[in-house]
Amino acid sequence: MRVTILNNQNKQGTRILFISKDEIQNSEYKEKLEKYNFKGKGAFFLQDEEILFVGLDKCSKNINNYEESVAIALKSLKSLNIANVYVDISHLGEQTKYIIAQAFLLAGYEFNQFKSEKNVEIDIKINLNGIDSKIINELSIIADSVNIARDIVNTPPNIANSTYLAQMAKELSKDINNVTIDIHSNDFLEKEKMGAFLAVNQGSTSPAYLVHLQYKPTNKRKISKKIVLVGKGLVYDTGGLSLKPADYMTTMKADKGGACAVMSSFIAMAKMQLDVEIHAIMGITDNAIGSKSYRPDDVIYSREGKSIEVRNTDAEGRLVLVDCLSYAQDLKPDILIDFATLTGACVVALGEYTAGVMGHSDELKNDFVKSAMQVNELAHTLPFNRHLKKLLDSKIADICNISSARYGGAITAGLFLSNFIRDEYKSKWLHVDIAGPAFVEKEWGINPYGASGVGVRSCISFVKNNI
Ligand code: BES
Ligand code: ZN
Ligand code: ZN
């Protein structure tokens, strides 16, 4: 379905009314709703009044509930084949309005490119009474970008190979003012001594790419900061020679979620022409099996000069990231953030819905979590500690690519990255593990099955709060 938001004051078509169980009691429609046994759960279409009632769980103060209600509303509109609706949200607070509008633009997402029989397309026009048109414009840019990230992450690995992803970045950034792109491949990575990144690419039949997108606003005097984003772009992760079991390999097309998140955030922020210099670096390859694959027991050299003992080729994301982070630090960032579907352990720790935020600055971490929550993406901090750090010690190299202990895997992965962050950038760096929310196995909130586009909204919100 396509969803467009309008904000003229028209009250034509079907009305959507979000209503909680308690509110039904004081509603002028109480009798009718009770007659049809609508108790504030799901949706109910009252035909004679032309109102779609949508249940709202107001017991908790979480604005999240609106997202779920909006998703229910869109599903009902689709099944009732209603395309013109209005909702009065003028009585609500600014943040709630924002969340509702955002949910309308995101909850209707469908990925049916590979279905021979497509569902009937419905073009739903929602008139939101009481929201500023500037907000709608900004939200449309952001939602389009989230949906682009979802599309690319959903695209299967036999189509979305490394070259496809690099070309997508080029295509999508081409007509935006003040944007340039450099697409570097294996020769460049060799020249830059990115031995960790190259090791992961060794078994692949496709090249590795480091894509560097830059946005430098015209009015240089207004630029307050330089923000550098780095994303893990594993177009497929078989695990390499430390092969993943079959059940864990499916959905690994989503291992490019970090790179897609930084690319999409970048595109949205460049389109918004924010007063901040932004770089997005995507580390793109697959982790494949071949006669040239890197092995457990190999020792490789990273761009920062440290040697790494590979003990598990499935811990590949961190190898790609450390070389990209090294390149990123040369850009002298004021803030450096990486997004990656890095560890299954992060999903164990926080559940499937929440991103894990790590780093050395409490202020930065808390800022990020707050920014994410403002736009309804769930994020929580995970604490570094020195006891976990020593689990990465190697007997033969400077560091090992996996921890010697079973527990705390999300944090030890973060600490591995931290080893390659120079002292001057330690407190400017954040690592966001999105392994849980990047791919949705069972739909929730505004997310249908498949890629969620997670990270885009948080990243933009964080940057906007930090200009
Ligand atoms: N891409 C995976 C992490 C992942 C797991 C993402 C589940 C999304 C959902 C990553 O490359 C990986 O395989 N990590 C290993 C690390 C281990 C070998 C130390 C893991 O989490 O098992
Ligand atoms: Zn892996
Ligand atoms: Zn991976």
Ligand 1 probe mutation, 255, 313, 343, most atoms within 8 A of CB: 343
The best mutation among 314, 319, 388 to test binding of ligand 1, ranked by most ligand atoms within 8 Å of the C-beta, falls on 314
Question: Catalytic pick from 15, 150, 253, 318?
Answer: 318
244 as an active site residue: the answer is: yes
| Ligand 1 atom with the shortest distance to the CA of 248 | 7
Q: Measured from the CB, is residue 341 less than 6 Å from ligand 1?
A: yes
According to DSSP H, which parts of 119-185 are helical?
A: 133-154, 162-173
CB-CB contact of 30 with 41 (8 Å) = no
Report which ligand 1 atom has the smallest distance to the Cα of 345: 21
Q: Which two tokens stand for residue 285?
A: 């390859």
In degrees to the nearest 10, what's the CA dihedral of 356, 379, 244, 408? Answer: 30
Q: Which mutation among 342, 346, 433 tests ligand 1's pocket best, with the greatest number of atoms within 8 A of CB?
A: 342
Q: CB 92: neighbour CB atoms within 10 A? A: 17
Does this model's pTM top 0.75? My answer is: yes
Q: What is the pLDDT of residues 252-261, one digit of tens each?
A: 999 999 999 9
The single residue of 32, 244, 311, 464 carrying the catalytic annotation is 244
Distance 240 CA to ligand 2 centre (A): 8
Residues ≥6 apart with Cβ < 8 Å to 270: 173, 176, 177, 178, 179, 215, 278
150 belongs to the catalytic site = no
Give 158's contacts (C-beta < 8 A, 6+ positions apart).
none
Closest CA to 232 of 434, 401, 412: 434
CA torsion 350-359-220-328 (nearest 10°) is -100
CA 441 to chain CA mean position, Å: 15
Residues 463, 467: Cα–Cα separation, whole Å? 6
What whole-number distance in Å separates Cα of residue 56 and Cα of residue 40?
6
- Single-letter residue type at 172: L
CA distance readout (Å), 167 to 18, 51, 182, 264, 338: 43, 46, 11, 14, 21
With contact defined as beta carbons under 8 Å apart, do 129 and 88 qualify?
Answer: yes
- The bound ligand whose nearest atom lies closest to the alpha carbon of 434 is 1
Question: Kind of pairing, strands 307-309 and 299-301?
Answer: antiparallel
DSSP 35-49: HTT--SSSEEEEGGG
Q: Is the CB of 343 under 6 A from ligand 1?
A: yes
Ligand 1 pocket residue status of 287, Cβ below 6 Å:
no
pLDDT at 59: 65
Rounded CA separation 283/232 (Å): 5
Distance 286 CA to ligand 2 centre (A): 10
Enumerate long-range contacts of 129-133, CB under 8 Å, 24 or more apart.
Answer: 129/7, 129/9, 129/11, 129/86, 129/87, 129/88, 129/89, 129/90, 130/88, 130/89, 130/90, 130/91, 130/92, 130/97, 131/7, 131/89, 131/97, 131/101, 132/7, 133/7
What one-character DSSP code corresponds to residue 333?
Answer: -
Kindly report, residue by residue over 329-338, the tens digit of the pLDDT: 999 999 999 9
> What parts of the chain have a pLDDT lower than 70?
59-64, 221
| pLDDT of 173 | 97
Angstrom CA distances, 327 to 111, 190, 215, 227, 302, stand at 35, 13, 17, 14, 11
Residue environment code for 398-429, b if the CB has 16+ CB neighbours within 10 A, otherwise e: bbbbbbeeeebbbbbbbbbbbbbbeeebeebb
Tokens representing 276 are: 């901040």
| Per-residue buried b or exposed e for 304-315, using 16+ beta carbons within 10 Å of the residue's own CB | bebebbbbebbb
Q: What is the CA radius of gyration of the chain?
A: 23
Q: What is the DSSP string of 253-295?
A: GGGGHHHHHHHHHHHHHHHTT-SSEEEEEEEEEEE--STT---
Burial classification of residue 367, based on how many CB atoms lie within 10 Å of its CB (0-12 exposed, 13-18 middle, 19 or more buried): middle
Question: Which residues are paired to 214 by β-bridges?
Answer: 180, 279
**324: which 2 tokens?**
């990209």
- Token reading at 101: 């509008």
Between CA 265 and CA 74 the distance in angstroms is 25
Q: CB of 290 within 8 A of CB of 303? A: no
Cβ–ligand 1 distance for 345 under 6 Å, the answer yes
* CB 409 near ligand 1, within 6 Å: yes
Predicted local confidence at residue 228, as pLDDT: 98
State the distance from the centre of ligand 1 to the C-alpha of 326, rounded, in angstroms: 22
